Amino acid sequence: MRNVELLMPAGNLEKLKYAVKYGADAVYLGVVDFSLRAMRKGEIITLENLKRAVDLAHELGAKAYMTLNIFAFNSDIKHLEGYMEIIKDANPDAILVSDFGILRLLRKYMPDTEIHVSTQTNILNYECVKFWQDMGATRVVLARELSIPEIAEIKRQVPDMEVECFIHGSQCVSFSGRCLLSDYFTNGERKANSGNCSQPCRWSYKLVEETRPGQYYEINQDERGSHILSPKDLCLVKHLKDMIDAGVDSFKVEGRTKSLYYVSAVAKTYRNAIDEILKNPDADMEKYFIELKKVGNRGYTTGFALGDNNCDSYSYDISKGLAGADFLFEFHDKKVDFESGDNLYFVKVKNKVLLGDEVEIITPSEQFITKITGIIDEKGEVQDLANTNADVYLKFEKEPVEFDVAIARTVGVKEHVS
């Protein structure tokens, strides 16, 4: 079987590093104002450090695609044109677009840069793909509304165009992400297609009769109200072979606003799954599906991929993704305890841990269960527990080799994840 690309989100510089270390062939990244995700945490990627982000991806052996896929108003075009030299100097491997005006600017200032066409353009048929090919694009991100046979037909009709498809992550209730709910409910302050969606599709709704203000009625038998607008998350790991056979060139994971743990664990899972299916097309993907239950999700669906999208594709009982395993801590440094000679690992605690707890540690090349045998705070005092957000030193029965990018989580899968 042929090689395919695993494309992971890079919400900030730290996540970019972890995404590539854990198996991404390429990352996609955006800057505030010009992409469809507005980041708030970590070392956010801006126009000032864009070149450093692209260079970091290249140093780690991956490609970097920049997202300029907003629907642009006049003010956006004027703003963007003033930064074209900075973007050109950053030299991303490709730029993702959905707006014809932005495409025209790129052709003017960066004629040699590859163009990838965003899923926001609702690409559903091979004639549309041919159109974008005529416009100079080298890749299209197909709409999530297509089935695998429809993807295969597009690839047969336009074999020399790269095809990118979403394989995992959150979905919008709208058609290919073209949603105005956030704009409406926030009076235009948080525009979905300008990177600042408030996700009203995840909110809980109740019914109010206009002559009875303040009296709220349930739409269904659910104390949280109705979540009929909230789709489950996409997960197509069990259908990798069919999608590779259909001609998909790049598998895309959604999640630039997701956690470092999410990016790392999902990248590792899909990296291993892709590598195994390329060696053995008949490999069972169930173990990888179980791994993906350990990261935040609203329940999983295959969406439109199998041609049977229905009411089971919606999450009626939860609006926030629940993980089957809790992210416990990330590793930052290591030193030797001079009294005992043991290695001490400096970690940032994300969820409380106790002395003697069993934890699962994952790195790009490792995954094992071990026990915490020591907790020492920054003052050098021995502790029985480490609370959330604490910075402490830990000892383990078994230690990670690649500790600099290691993360830890709880053992097993919680039953609340479907």
Pair (251, 386) in one structural domain: no
Domains of the chain: total: 2
Q: What b-and-e string marks burial along 142-174, b requiring 16 or more CB atoms within 10 Å of the CB?
A: bbbbbbbebbbbbbeebeebbbbbbbbbbbbee
Pair (331, 395) in one structural domain: yes
CB neighbours (10 Å) of residue 280? 11
Q: What is the pTM of this model?
A: 0.89
Tell which residue, 106, 105, 104, 100, has the closest CA to residue 65.
106
Pair (142, 249) in one structural domain: yes
| Amino acid in position 297 | N
Pair (144, 289) in one structural domain: yes
Q: Is residue 378 part of a domain?
A: yes
Query: Average pLDDT of 231-244?
Result: 95
Q: Among 287, 313, 339, identify where a domain stops.
A: 313
CATH number for position 336:
2.40.30.10
Supply the range of the domain harboring residue 131. Answer: 5-176+230-313
| Residue 417 pLDDT | 45
Query: Average pLDDT of 379-408?
Result: 96
Share of the chain above pLDDT 90, in %: 68
Tell which residue, 55, 83, 53, has the closest CA to residue 68.
83
| Residue 201 pLDDT | 72
Query: Average pLDDT of 234-257?
Result: 95
Pair (309, 334) in one structural domain: no
Pair (340, 293) in one structural domain: no
CA dihedral 289, 293, 298, 301 (to 10 degrees): 10
Q: Is residue 214 part of a domain?
A: no
Q: Among 262, 284, 313, identify where a domain stops.
A: 313
| Residue 17 pLDDT | 97
**Higher confidence at residue 320 or residue 377?**
377
Q: Is 414 helix (H, G, I), strand (E, B) or coil?
A: coil
Q: Among 313, 341, 356, identify where a domain stops.
A: 313
23-73 pLDDT per residue, tens: 999 999 988 767 655 555 667 899 999 999 999 999 999 999 999 988 899
Pair (280, 338) in one structural domain: no
Pair (305, 339) in one structural domain: no
Q: Is residue 196 part of a domain?
A: no
